[in-house]
């Protein structure tokens, strides 16, 4: 068998990967990664021109009692369709928990609503190997201030307080 000729060129390493603190998985060092959720939802909801929010209850087949429902009211139907298309792309049809809605009630009767991607599921979508890395996620939310608080929100707040205190015992 003929001998191979030795290559005269040295193997080159990427300058950022050679030496230093980038040890790699073999020495226990995890790579740091950051995922960023898309700002499209915030922009699209802003384009929808949301000016009001309605509250009520929806009867859901298979459940004994109705669930609280939140309805955003705005000026641009196409933008609302785009919002729900984004929810669909996030996996909302398979897992309704991909959307995170937060409500902050103020003492003066006003409140703020926040809508965006649910953090853990957003990380799973953007960083599939998140468990193998030092993963961080930055979310972009749509925020809206409302002047008055509907009584259904106060009932929801009361229900949540009872549920949390019962769960903490």
Q: Quick one: pLDDT at residue 154?
A: 81
Selected residue with higher pLDDT from 163 and 22: 163
Work out the number of other CB atoms within 10 angstroms of the CB of residue 18.
9
pLDDT tens readout for residues 124-154? 888 888 777 888 888 889 999 999 888 888 8
Mean pLDDT of 1-25: 53
Indicate the burial class of 133 (C-beta count within 10 angstroms; 0-12, 13-18, 19 or more). middle
Mean pLDDT of 43-60: 90
pLDDT above 90 (res 26): no
Percent of the chain at pLDDT > 70 equals 79
Mean pLDDT of 74-79: 95
Under 8 Å between Cβ of 119 and 74: no
Q: Quick one: pLDDT at residue 85?
A: 92
Q: Quick one: pLDDT at residue 14?
A: 46
pLDDT above 90 (res 28): no
* Mean residue pLDDT across the chain: 80
How many residues comprise the chain?
169
Q: Quick one: pLDDT at residue 32?
A: 82
For the chain, the domains span 33-167
């Amino acid at each position: 068998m003929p001998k191979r000729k030795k290559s005269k060129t040295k193997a080159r390493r990427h300058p950022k990967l050679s030496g230093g603190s980038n040890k790699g998985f073999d020495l226990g060092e995890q790579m740091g990664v950051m995922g960023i959720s898309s700002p499209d939802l915030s922009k699209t909801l802003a384009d929808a021109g949301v000016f009001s929010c309605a509250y009520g209850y929806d009867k859901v087949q298979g459940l004994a009692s109705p669930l609280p429902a939140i309805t955003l009211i705005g000026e641009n139907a196409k933008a609302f369709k785009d919002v729900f298309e984004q929810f669909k792309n996030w996996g909302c049809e398979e897992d309704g928990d991909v959307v995170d809605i937060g409500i902050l009630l103020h003492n003066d009767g006003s409140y703020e609503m926040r809508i965006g991607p649910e953090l853990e599921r957003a990380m799973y979508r953007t960083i599939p190997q998140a468990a193998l890395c030092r993963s961080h996620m930055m979310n972009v939310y749509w925020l809206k201030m409302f002047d008055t608080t509907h009584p259904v929100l106060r009932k929801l707040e009361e229900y949540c307080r009872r549920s949390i205190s019962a769960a903490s015992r």
